[in-house]
């Protein structure tokens, strides 16, 4: 397989570097190339303090790397594909197959875990990854020769997982294609040593379904976030952390520092591929109370950082101004636009500015 499988103890091997490169987002700054101090870090602290007061421990700018370089190989060239897709009903399966083929996804003989984003259910909004996209991805990976495909999620807001899955229609559609679902909030757990130390957690309990998967696919909704600015494939890894251990809404992670936890959790999960649901995203006061926005896009990537850099730019953000994403470019994936090979449509031509809350206006391009 093009991506190394996790070993029996759930320790992910470094991502292999894809081939080829093409420059995009002309003039964009490199994500992950510098030290996060000065104005950007100060703005982060001001945003956090204004939003939370003393409710959470203060965030500290990422002044130095906090990861084991012997575990995280230097990021190589990444493949990302942006594709126009305006409907969840017409042409979706073909679009997913084309996107995965474009990035060279290889899951032959692998146990694949799809990790969509299901936070809460509200029929009038666009909070969750659309179940039809999840089903299309499951069918595509089966067709590509996966040994098994499982869907797993641990909602961080609603404790009643069945309520969210039933209400959204995910359970019904998975039954119709015979794909199993695992509640990651209640699954058996395995202790994993962290190889990054942006928080003081040192180790993390991971669901067995995550630790034993050969390939983890992060499938976030393209959304703004009222604390982090954007929530994409890296932030989506929070749903891999069991609520029965870390509380709701994954309180222990928020207390450890939201952006720091994004880095440590993503470093433990190490998603191999990402599929971002931007057919209908969310702007404004995301990730739950925002406004649906028809972006008409799907984003595929073989590198979670490169995927999030591209998706953030599509949303009108400057990825270099998103501090956790910039730091992730040091070790979790490729943050340099010059080393992200765009294998789909032109990201610049398909960008659509998402409205943001006032504290995050400085993150916009």
Determine what percent of the chain is predicted with pLDDT higher than 70.
Answer: 83
Q: Longest Cα pair distance anywhere in the chain, in angstroms?
A: 53
Statement: residue 112 has pLDDT above 50: yes
Other beta carbons within 10 Å of 360? 21
Express each pLDDT in 228-255 by its tens digit: 999 999 999 999 999 999 998 898 999 9
For 111, residues 6+ apart whose C-beta sits below 8 A from its C-beta are: 146, 147, 148, 150, 212, 213, 214, 215
What backbone phi and psi angles, to 5 degrees, belong to 342? -85, 110
Express each pLDDT in 349-358 by its tens digit: 999 999 999 9
Residue with tokens 């398909």: 350
Task: Work out the mean pLDDT of the chain and round it to a whole number.
Answer: 86
Query: Measuring CA to CA, which residue among 4, 46, 10, 332 is closest to residue 190?
Result: 10
The CATH number of 39-61+74-363 is which of 3.40.50.2300, 3.40.50.11440, 3.30.420.40, 3.40.50.10540? 3.40.50.11440
Residue spans of the domains in the chain: they are 39-61+74-363
3-class SS of residue 208: helix
Residue with tokens 């594909």: 81
63 pLDDT tier (thresholds 50, 70, 90): low
Q: Specify whether the CB–CB gap between 156 and 193 falls below 8 A.
A: no
User: pTM (2 decimals)?
Assistant: 0.85
127 to 130, 157, 170, 231: CA distances (angstroms): 9, 11, 13, 11
Whether omega before 22 lies within 30 degrees of 0, making that bond cis, reads no
Residue with tokens 């939201």: 258
Other beta carbons within 10 Å of 151? 28
pLDDT score recorded for residue 158:
79
Express each pLDDT in 151-202 by its tens digit: 999 998 778 899 999 999 999 999 999 999 999 999 999 999 999 999 999 9
């Amino acid at each position: 397989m093009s991506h190394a499988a996790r070993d029996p103890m759930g320790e992910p091997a470094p991502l292999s570097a894809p081939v080829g490169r093409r420059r995009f987002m002309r003039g964009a700054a490199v994500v992950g190339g510098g030290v996060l101090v000065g104005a950007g870090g100060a703005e982060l602290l001001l945003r956090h303090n204004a939003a939370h007061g003393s409710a959470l421990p203060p965030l500290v700018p990422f002044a130095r790397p906090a990861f084991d370089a012997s575990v995280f190989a230097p990021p190589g060239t990444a493949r990302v594909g942006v594709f126009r897709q305006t409907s969840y009903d017409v042409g979706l399966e073909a679009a997913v197959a084309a996107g995965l083929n474009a990035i060279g996804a290889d899951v032959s003989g692998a146990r694949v875990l799809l990790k969509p984003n299901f936070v809460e259910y509200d029929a009038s909004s666009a909070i969750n990854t659309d179940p039809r996209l999840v089903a299309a991805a499951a069918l595509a990976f089966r067709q590509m020769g996966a040994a098994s495909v499982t869907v797993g999620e641990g909602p961080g807001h609603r404790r009643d997982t069945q309520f969210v899955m039933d209400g959204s229609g995910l359970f019904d559609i998975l039954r119709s294609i015979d794909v199993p679902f695992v509640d990651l909030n209640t699954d058996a757990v395995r202790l994993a040593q962290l190889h990054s130390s942006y928080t003081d957690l040192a180790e993390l309990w991971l669901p067995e379904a995550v630790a034993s998967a050969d390939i983890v696919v992060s499938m976030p909704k393209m959304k703004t976030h009222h604390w982090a600015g954007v929530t994409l494939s890296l932030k989506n890894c929070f749903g891999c952390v069991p609520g029965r251990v870390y509380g709701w809404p994954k309180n222990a992670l928020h207390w450890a520092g939201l952006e720091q936890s994004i880095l440590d959790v993503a470093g433990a999960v190490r998603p191999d591929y990402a599929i971002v649901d931007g057919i209908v995203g969310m702007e404004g006061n995301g990730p739950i109370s925002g406004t649906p926005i028809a972006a008409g896009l799907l984003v595929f990537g073989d590198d979670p950082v490169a995927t999030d850099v591209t998706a953030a730019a599509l949303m009108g953000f400057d990825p270099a101004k998103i501090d956790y994403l910039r730091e992730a470019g040091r070790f979790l994936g490729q943050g340099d636009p010059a080393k992200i090979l765009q294998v789909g449509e032109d990201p610049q031509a398909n960008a659509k500015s998402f409205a943001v809350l006032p504290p995050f206006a400085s993150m916009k391009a």
